[in-house]
A and B are shown apart, each in its own frame.
Chain A
């Protein structure tokens, strides 16, 4: 079966859109058939006029009217404009030069018909005239080079300005590959629209010459515009065209992952990604039929497989996979786990692409680390990529020693190169995550989980971040004016360290057979260390991170409750026993700590209910901590009446808590 983009298949299944005002190549061929003896002499004179003199479009129309009279074409609809367009096509064939192109371009900018019909007229003219075909290929190459070296300007000042701004910003851009991954933000491919017909022809008539020509350009804006016209993207994307270019495009990456500056391959990857994302947008946001959703999922999966397999044929496929999947991971990290499984979300495509790439890496030697030309954010994103592949059993997990060592910095190093590198590498991860522990923390934790002693590794990591905690507490002595900023920044890094610890705990939970197993004892030790970390951070961090730590207490408490041996004894499904009743902190310790804050206590109970907790056991715990939940709920309601702004309350949630415990009392 022919591989197609999902949108391409969808378009192919729809009835053709017929509009007589747009003349096709077939229309022109039929028109040319009216002259079995060849075009009249007056036609040739008009062609000469365009090449040698030219002028405004009205003058050309007058000349064409004369030709129509000579050969009595008035009965044919649109004959004047068809003939006029063919005159221009013939002129370009007769003299494939920059000068003639400029003349034709001026004419077409004043005629709707010329503007929209020229490309098809040229194709039709070339099918009847082999010299014309060669001439058009020469002309397109000349024009491309003139655009590339800026010797051919647009007729419009605004377009010239935009081209020039784009070129300047490209020259100044520090991370050029990022700019391509971002999809050349702010660029409009129509800025090279005047020359589009020529590039369409070049891609159709001489694909090899087309690839050779555009490969030589370092101007991503120009190449992007031409790719759209060549059917790689835009309104009529074709997978076949994309595939041909993806195979034939020159090498873009060195074996260590370094990008050599060639813009074609990254642009093709961006286009493939855009096509895959487009498929997800075809799903209705509400009430989509499950058959439609699974069909689209299949289409996406099949297109992804084709994309990754096509790229696999390239000599630079491994470094290409490494750099592209790093970018895909960057996008993925801004989503939640729920988004990743939602076919309507962009994360679904990113994740599926990373998985497909991972499958291709089985048994291959992967790029070990981000190359030196990569921007700082890539290091940890690539680490996440490798962790994801390892989690899917495509490769072995990478060593954690280097990652853990990055966190060990002294006070002097915080403001220096090492501290700056740590902040820069972590900056994306700490700002993007929406969940606790979240996708990024889980990925960063995975190699640690697979190490020999994960609990000790995390405790070692926490201990190594003593400097960061000092900065959280006292600020950076070297930047006294911006103490808050340093404290907040260091606090965010500590949050990430904690989340990694929580992710280690969660990932290992399922490995525990019973609370006496060595794994369970190690987990209990980790939980103790995590709880101590929370206590410490709540003492020292009074920046905006404080609320995050409050939420984290709930995370820790819920885990202590649901993985207790008593919960497992009550036969709650999926609840393995990790904690002995005596493991500290106990759940009762969490309750006692929250007891002074009615709002927090309610939030904790609500969190337990959300996780389908063992309510009778919770009731026992509350009673043993001398907490009357009904009083607590009353207190929250009273506070809310006092100031709903200061003490917001969810009435449904309150009712849910009351109902849960009332039904318990009635049984």
Chain B
């Protein structure tokens, strides 16, 4: 195909500064950059009903300027224990969602929030509606907001796109990689790394491909 017209370029989007690469482990104090020390620390977290998330991740989300994209089958579904009753599971889901909601302050600048997860029968519509309520609050909070905030949750992972093992998050231009649940909720010893430039590793295109494999929930 011959050229239609001379190419007119416009300046590429300016990339944000990416923090230094870092590896973090979840612990009950928030996070640390070394393996947990001592069996007591490990067991305390393992048997906790509410393992503390990575504070650094929550902070990064709250400071996002453009996008928060998360790919994780179990983002909204906490790990169940065999003895957990249905009521207990429900409580855990509520607690997980409440924690995630806290990552998004009303002053959030980012507008493009997307969670790509899988369907869990335990999570009800009313649970997800809390995110839409949050979006309304964020949009109402700032009258001069340039772009309306939007949180979209798609649940077609495994069903329509069953190719992902690890979990990832892209906050603005930074790629986070998680061994366990995004945000560091996993009760067992699990690490996350940050400080990767998403565009250098094709993360944005990959996310879009996974995202476009399904439709809006």
Q: Do A and B bind each other?
A: yes
State the majority secondary structure of interface residues on B.
loop
Q: A444 → chain B, closest Cβ, in Å?
A: 11
**Would you call B49 an interface residue if the criterion is a C-beta within 8 Å of the partner chain's C-beta atoms?**
no
Assembly CA distance A611 to B8 (angstroms):
7
**Contacting pair A551 B14 (CB below 8 A):** no
Smallest CB gap from B173: residue in A: A648
Beyond A337-B3, A391-B4, whether A610 also contacts B9 by CB under 8 A is: yes
**Would you call B1 an interface residue if the criterion is a C-beta within 8 Å of the partner chain's C-beta atoms?**
yes
**Contacting pair A645 B1 (CB below 8 A):** no
Beyond A484-B148, A607-B9, A611-B9, whether A648 also contacts B14 by CB under 8 A is: yes
**Would you call A271 an interface residue if the criterion is a C-beta within 8 Å of the partner chain's C-beta atoms?**
no
Beyond A506-B5, A645-B65, A646-B65, whether A542 also contacts B10 by CB under 8 A is: no
Smallest CB gap from B208: residue in A: A431
Beyond A543-B150, A554-B10, whether A340 also contacts B1 by CB under 8 A is: yes
Assembly CA distance A559 to B8 (angstroms):
8
What residues of chain A lie closer than 8 Å to B9, measured between beta carbons?
Answer: 607, 610-611
**Contacting pair B150 A555 (CB below 8 A):** no
Assembly CA distance A488 to B111 (angstroms):
13
Assembly CA distance A644 to B173 (angstroms):
13
Beyond A337-B7, A551-B10, A644-B17, whether A544 also contacts B150 by CB under 8 A is: yes
Beyond A603-B11, A606-B11, whether A506 also contacts B112 by CB under 8 A is: no
Which residues between 549 and 599 of chain A lie within 8 Å of chain B, taking CB atoms? 551, 554-555, 558-559, 562, 574
**Contacting pair B11 A392 (CB below 8 A):** no
State the majority secondary structure of interface residues on A.
helix
Assembly CA distance A544 to B208 (angstroms):
14
Smallest CB gap from A389: residue in B: B1
**Would you call A195 an interface residue if the criterion is a C-beta within 8 Å of the partner chain's C-beta atoms?**
no
Smallest CB gap from B19: residue in A: A645
Which residues between 34 and 79 of chain B lie within 8 Å of chain A, taking CB atoms? 63, 65
Q: Which of A551, A558, A606, A648 counts the most chain B CB atoms within 10 A?
A: A648
Beyond A555-B10, A559-B8, whether A544 also contacts B112 by CB under 8 A is: yes
Smallest CB gap from B129: residue in A: A481
Smallest CB gap from B16: residue in A: A648
**Would you call A172 an interface residue if the criterion is a C-beta within 8 Å of the partner chain's C-beta atoms?**
no
**Contacting pair A507 B5 (CB below 8 A):** yes
Out of A431, A543, A558, name the residue touching B8 (CB < 8 Å).
A558
**Would you call A388 an interface residue if the criterion is a C-beta within 8 Å of the partner chain's C-beta atoms?**
yes
Assembly CA distance A646 to B109 (angstroms):
9
**Contacting pair B150 A488 (CB below 8 A):** yes
Q: What is the number of residues of chain A that contact chain B, defined by CB distance less than 8 Å?
A: 46
What residues of chain A lie closer than 8 Å to B126, measured between beta carbons?
Answer: none
Assembly CA distance A482 to B17 (angstroms):
35
Out of A506, A546, A603, A606, name the residue touching B4 (CB < 8 Å).
A506
What residues of chain A lie closer than 8 Å to B3, measured between beta carbons?
Answer: 337
**Would you call B122 an interface residue if the criterion is a C-beta within 8 Å of the partner chain's C-beta atoms?**
no
Q: Type the 1/0 row for A623-667, where 1 means its CB is closer than 8 Å to any CB of B.
A: 000000000000000000000111011100100000000000000
**Would you call B216 an interface residue if the criterion is a C-beta within 8 Å of the partner chain's C-beta atoms?**
yes
**Would you call A229 an interface residue if the criterion is a C-beta within 8 Å of the partner chain's C-beta atoms?**
no
Smallest CB gap from A603: residue in B: B11
**Would you call A317 an interface residue if the criterion is a C-beta within 8 Å of the partner chain's C-beta atoms?**
no
Q: B197 → chain A, closest Cβ, in Å?
A: 12
What residues of chain A lie closer than 8 Å to B146, measured between beta carbons?
Answer: 542, 546
What residues of chain B lie closer than 8 Å to A558, measured between beta carbons?
Answer: 8, 10
**Contacting pair B1 A543 (CB below 8 A):** no
**Contacting pair B216 A351 (CB below 8 A):** no
**Contacting pair B147 A547 (CB below 8 A):** yes
**Contacting pair B148 A542 (CB below 8 A):** yes
Beyond A542-B146, A559-B8, A611-B8, whether A649 also contacts B2 by CB under 8 A is: no
What residues of chain B lie closer than 8 Å to A611, measured between beta carbons?
Answer: 8-9
**Contacting pair A645 B11 (CB below 8 A):** no
**Contacting pair B150 A351 (CB below 8 A):** no
What residues of chain B lie closer than 8 Å to A436, measured between beta carbons?
Answer: 10
**Would you call A377 an interface residue if the criterion is a C-beta within 8 Å of the partner chain's C-beta atoms?**
no
What residues of chain A lie closer than 8 Å to B63, measured between beta carbons?
Answer: 645
**Would you call B6 an interface residue if the criterion is a C-beta within 8 Å of the partner chain's C-beta atoms?**
yes
Task: Bin chain B's interface residue count.
Answer: 20 to 34
Q: Which of B6, B11, B216 counts the most chain A CB atoms within 10 A?
A: B11
**Would you call A46 an interface residue if the criterion is a C-beta within 8 Å of the partner chain's C-beta atoms?**
no
What residues of chain B lie closer than 8 Å to A559, measured between beta carbons?
Answer: 8
**Contacting pair A574 B2 (CB below 8 A):** no
**Contacting pair A543 B5 (CB below 8 A):** no
**Would you call B212 an interface residue if the criterion is a C-beta within 8 Å of the partner chain's C-beta atoms?**
yes
Smallest CB gap from A547: residue in B: B147
**Contacting pair A484 B150 (CB below 8 A):** yes
Assembly CA distance A611 to B11 (angstroms):
10
**Would you call A113 an interface residue if the criterion is a C-beta within 8 Å of the partner chain's C-beta atoms?**
no
**Would you call A497 an interface residue if the criterion is a C-beta within 8 Å of the partner chain's C-beta atoms?**
no
Assembly CA distance A542 to B146 (angstroms):
7
Q: A283 → chain B, closest Cβ, in Å?
A: 20
Q: Type the 1/0 row for A507-529, where 1 means its CB is closer than 8 Å to any CB of B.
A: 10110000000000000000000
Q: Type the 1/0 row for B7-34, where 1 means its CB is closer than 8 Å to any CB of A.
A: 1111100111100000000000000000
Assembly CA distance A584 to B9 (angstroms):
22
**Contacting pair A351 B147 (CB below 8 A):** no
**Would you call A239 an interface residue if the criterion is a C-beta within 8 Å of the partner chain's C-beta atoms?**
no
**Would you call A222 an interface residue if the criterion is a C-beta within 8 Å of the partner chain's C-beta atoms?**
no
**Contacting pair A610 B147 (CB below 8 A):** no
**Contacting pair B1 A610 (CB below 8 A):** no
**Contacting pair B148 A645 (CB below 8 A):** no
Q: Which of B1, B63, B172 counts the most chain A CB atoms within 10 A?
A: B1
What residues of chain A lie closer than 8 Å to B7, measured between beta carbons?
Answer: 337
Assembly CA distance A392 to B2 (angstroms):
7
Q: B11 → chain A, closest Cβ, in Å?
A: 4
Q: A578 → chain B, closest Cβ, in Å?
A: 12
Assembly CA distance A442 to B2 (angstroms):
12
Q: Which of A355, A544, A645 counts the most chain B CB atoms within 10 A?
A: A645
What residues of chain A lie closer than 8 Å to B150, measured between beta carbons?
Answer: 484, 488, 543-544
Which residues between 482 and 538 of chain A lie within 8 Å of chain B, taking CB atoms? 482, 484-485, 488, 503, 506-507, 509-510
Assembly CA distance A562 to B8 (angstroms):
10
**Would you call A446 an interface residue if the criterion is a C-beta within 8 Å of the partner chain's C-beta atoms?**
yes
Could you tell me which A residues sit within 8 Å of B by CB distance?
337, 340, 351, 354-355, 388, 391-392, 431, 436, 439, 442, 446, 482, 484-485, 488, 503, 506-507, 509-510, 542-544, 546-547, 551, 554-555, 558-559, 562, 574, 603, 606-607, 610-611, 644-646, 648-650, 653
A–B complex contacts, Cβ < 8 Å, 27 sampled: A337-B3, A337-B7, A351-B1, A354-B1, A391-B1, A391-B2, A431-B212, A436-B10, A442-B5, A506-B6, A506-B8, A510-B5, A543-B150, A544-B147, A546-B147, A555-B8, A555-B10, A574-B6, A607-B9, A607-B10, A644-B17, A646-B65, A646-B109, A648-B15, A648-B17, A650-B14, A650-B15
Could you tell me which B residues sit within 8 Å of A by CB distance?
1-11, 14-17, 63, 65, 109, 111-112, 145-148, 150, 172, 208, 212, 216
Additional A-B contacts beyond A337-B7, A506-B6, A506-B8 (12; CB < 8 A): A388-B1, A442-B5, A482-B216, A484-B150, A509-B6, A542-B147, A542-B148, A544-B112, A544-B147, A555-B10, A559-B8, A648-B15
Which 9 residue pairs are nearest across A and B when measured between Cβ atoms? A506-B5, A606-B11, A607-B10, A442-B4, A648-B16, A554-B10, A648-B14, A610-B9, A546-B147
